[in-house]
Amino acid sequence: MASSATFTLFISTSLLLLLLCSLKKGDALEGRQATESRRLQHAHTVKISSLLPASVCTSTKGNIKKASLKVVHRHGPCSQLSKDKANAPTLSEILSHDQSRVNSIQSRIAFNSRKNSLEDSQATLPSKSGSSLGSGNYFVTVGLGSPKKDLSLIFDTGSDLTWTQCEPCVRYCYKQQEPTFDPSKSATYSNITCTSPLCSQLSSATGNSPGCSSTTCLYGIQYGDQSFSVGYFGKEKLTLTSTDVVNDFLFGCGQNNQGLFRGTAGLLGLGRDKLSLVSQTSQKYGKYFSYCLPSMSSSTGHLTFGNSGTSSGVKFTPLLTDSQSPSFYFIDITAISVGGRSLSISKSVFSTAGTIIDSGTVITRLPPAAYSAMRTTFRQLMKNYPMTDALSILDTCYDLSNYTTVTIPKINFFFNGNVNVALDLTGILYAASASQVCLAFAGNSDATDVGIFGNVQQQTLEVVYDVAGGKLGFGPGKCS
Ligand SMILES: *[C@@H]1O[C@H](CO)[C@@H](O)[C@H](O)[C@H]1NC(C)=O
Ligand SMILES: *[C@@H]1O[C@H](CO)[C@@H](O)[C@H](O)[C@H]1NC(C)=O
């Protein structure tokens, strides 16, 4: 089927590292040459133009992989949902939505009684929509019902319940790209009753006790200030690809939906709770999935269920569970290097807060001491470039408008189990324009706030979730 054929990613070659190997011989001293050579070895030398978002979609048709869905960035050129340019969020808006999401995650992962959900206003940036799930997210298109209707859903490893807006939209449905799902036109939809044990599973998946409307189980899930979905809890046939169909998939049929996902039809929950897609398909896919998030919004990636043979070069770090926050995927950062220099950060800095990996958070959040060490070294290695204003939460920005090429320090993350992950250039810099190119990291305001390895840093990596095996893998991706 042509519709399910494109899963391989194409990465713009301009993003490949263009390492300068040759140095001018002549007047420079041997020692200076050696230093320079070492500096370049730990740096990306790239054209400025390659740092800026592309405007052309470069998705290619690849081989059909089993149960593999095409991943698209919502606001990139490959997105049908981004045609509405007037309503597209600015980078600052994306970043302030991102902060709302982080606040909401951090209030859910409370490591001690110091924090509660009402107390987290200190780091709040103005967020007009109040959407805590942010907008810098990736979506996939799945089929729901019989006959199946295509729906574009944000996929989210930070939550569990899958939901979509549903007719008759008893209270409210926001505007979405595809026609709203209508269960009355599907031969396979049925409501879950209030007395069903399935209904009570909603408590842990949503954090809210289920409700009841006549005999139908009601779910409600909120993601922050004004963002929520409320509706009937139902089951339905879910078509991932033409050959991969999940019968009786439990999901939310949203009758009152607000705040978040402008354009998309809802959310695909890939957390670890019982009701997540990962858990509901555990018989079929063994709680194993992987994805590659495309870089620079220019190309498409994949989200693949099941283990069809791990691609070579994938290194695994233990996946940890926090009994207080069982939905999240915890991993351990052990060290960070910038420009080949290992930052001096004591191990306790990372272990105090813990770190989750999240597909929905845009910018990686580090404990304050770790971010400050990173920033100091990065600024030092970038001292030849003029700094400029901060961009929302990003405080280390450069005006590179006078340069055609720049040399950017490489950044590597080390995870428990000797896993060394070299970030793609797009995971190092976040560019609003050539005159405002920023270090794509932010520090938490509190040392006990959980760290988050966000989606900008995951770009072009193959990220493998072997949930049953208790490990998470990173591979040099390029999403192919
Ligand atoms: C599901 O339950 C709602 C509320 O009780 C009802 O309006 C709707 O018709 C039901 N749908 C089906 C297919 O039974
Ligand atoms: C760019 O170059 C011009 C001309 O040399 C100079 O006046 C300006 O300050 C430079 N801008 C930056 C941001 O370096």
Q: Which tokens in the block code for residue 463?
A: 């990220």
Atom of ligand 2 nearest to the CA of 402: 1
- Cβ 245 vs Cβ 253: under 8 Å: no
Q: What is the mean pLDDT of the chain?
A: 82
Q: What letter would DSSP give residue 181?
A: B
With CA atoms as reference, report the closest residue to 376 among 443, 430, 455.
Answer: 443
Atom of ligand 1 nearest to the CA of 234: 1
How many whole angstroms from 383 Cα to the centroid of ligand 2? 16
Task: Report the nearest-CA residue for atom 10 of ligand 1.
Answer: 191
pLDDT one-digit tens code per residue, 319-351: 998 888 888 999 999 999 999 999 999 989 999
Q: What letter would DSSP give residue 199?
A: H
CA dihedral angle for residue 44, residue 41, residue 310, residue 238, rounded to 10 degrees: -10
CATH architecture, domain defined by 315-475: Beta Barrel (2.40)
315-475: same fold as 67-82+91-111+127-305?
Answer: yes
CA dihedral angle for residue 109, residue 114, residue 116, residue 118, rounded to 10 degrees: -140
Q: What letter would DSSP give residue 273?
A: S
pLDDT at 80: 67
Residue keyed to tokens 């996902």: 261
How many whole angstroms from 386 Cα to the centroid of ligand 2? 9
CA dihedral angle for residue 107, residue 112, residue 115, residue 116, rounded to 10 degrees: 60
Task: Report the nearest-CA residue for atom 7 of ligand 2.
Answer: 402
Judge residue 116's burial from the number of C-beta atoms within 10 Å of its C-beta, 0-12 exposed, 13-18 middle, 19 or more buried.
exposed
Atom of ligand 1 nearest to the CA of 253: 1
CB neighbour list of residue 422: distance below 8 Å, 6 or more residues apart: 410, 411, 412, 476
Pick from 224-238, 272-286, 379-393: least confident: 224-238
Q: Which tokens in the block code for residue 75?
A: 């606001």
pLDDT one-digit tens code per residue, 168-208: 999 999 999 899 999 999 999 999 999 999 999 999 899 89
- Cβ 382 vs Cβ 398: under 8 Å: yes
Residues shown for the chain:
480
Pick from 184-188, 222-226, 241-245, 380-384: least confident: 222-226
How many whole angstroms from 371 Cα to the centroid of ligand 1? 51
For the chain, give every domain's residue range.
67-82+91-111+127-305, 315-475
How many whole angstroms from 424 Cα to the centroid of ligand 2? 29
Task: Report the nearest-CA residue for atom 11 of ligand 2.
Answer: 402
Q: How far apart are CA 202 and CA 220, in angstroms?
A: 9
**pTM of the predicted model as reported, rounded to 2 decimal places:** 0.85
- Cβ 102 vs Cβ 452: under 8 Å: yes
Distances (CA, A) of 477 to 61, 258, 312, 421: 17, 35, 10, 11
Largest alpha-carbon pair distance within the chain? Answer: 86
Ligand closest to 212 (CA) is: 1
How many whole angstroms from 274 Cα to the centroid of ligand 2? 57
Residue keyed to tokens 């070579």: 312
Rg (CA), the chain: 22
- Cβ 96 vs Cβ 323: under 8 Å: no
214 or 311: whose pLDDT is higher?
214
Task: Report the nearest-CA residue for atom 11 of ligand 1.
Answer: 191
Mutation probe of ligand 2 site: the residue of 384, 402, 404, 406 with most atoms within 8 A of C-beta? 402
Question: Cβ of 456: how many Cβ atoms within 10 Å?
Answer: 23
Residues marked active site are found at 156, 358
Question: E strands within 173-227?
Answer: 190-191, 211-213, 216-222
Distances (CA, A) of 453 to 254, 343, 415, 443: 30, 17, 11, 12
Q: What letter would DSSP give residue 206?
A: H
- Beta strand pairing call for 441-443 and 436-439: unpaired
Task: Report the nearest-CA residue for atom 12 of ligand 2.
Answer: 402
Q: Which tokens in the block code for residue 471?
A: 């490990």
Q: What is the mean pLDDT of residues 57-72?
A: 63
- Using a 6 Å cutoff on CB, does residue 233 contact ligand 1? no
122 or 158: whose pLDDT is higher?
158
Task: Report the nearest-CA residue for atom 3 of ligand 1.
Answer: 216
pLDDT at 98: 83
Q: How far apart are CA 181 and CA 189, in angstroms?
A: 11
CATH ID of 67-82+91-111+127-305, from 2.40.70.10, 2.70.98.10, 2.60.40.150, 3.30.200.20: 2.40.70.10
- Cβ 8 vs Cβ 43: under 8 Å: no
Q: How far apart are CA 369 and CA 356, in angstroms?
A: 17
- Using a 6 Å cutoff on CB, does residue 213 contact ligand 1? yes
Q: How far apart are CA 325 and CA 160, in angstroms?
A: 12
